[in-house]
Amino acid sequence: MQRLHLVFGGELVDPQKTQFRDVDDIHIVGIFPDYASAYDAWKSEAQRTVDNAHMRYFIAHLHRLRDEEKEVSPTEELG
């Protein structure tokens, strides 16, 4: 089964929360076929923006949206 992951980010209102300052300015890095490649993309963007404490990037597990009834453990992503 293919497990797609979306990497996205932007500037947050408060670095302690997950509310974006401007949703029109969210940076969509891309959709990746596995967690490892999504993690590499996430890490690259996070390191690129490390000087801005309000910038955050996230990995969304798109495959979980296809089957919300099935629970997946975080470690399954690495295996």
Confidence of residue 68 (pLDDT cuts 50, 70, 90): low
Strands (E), the chain: 5-11, 27-32, 55-61
Continuous segment of H or E residues that includes residue 38: helix 35-48
State if pTM tops 0.85.
no
**74 pLDDT higher than 80:** no
Residue 60 CA, distance from chain mean position: 5
Here the CATH number for the domain that contains residue 50 is 3.30.70.2400
Nearest to 20 by CA among 63, 55, 46: 55
pLDDT in tens, 21-65: 999 999 999 999 999 999 999 999 999 999 999 999 999 998 777
Tell me which residue range forms the domain holding 14: 1-28+38-63
Q: Which distant-in-sequence residues (6+ apart) come within 8 Å of 61 by Cβ?
A: 3, 5, 35, 72, 77
Range 62-75 average pLDDT: 64
Query: In total, how many domains does the chain have?
Result: 1
Asked whether residue 56 is assigned to any structural domain, the reply reads: yes
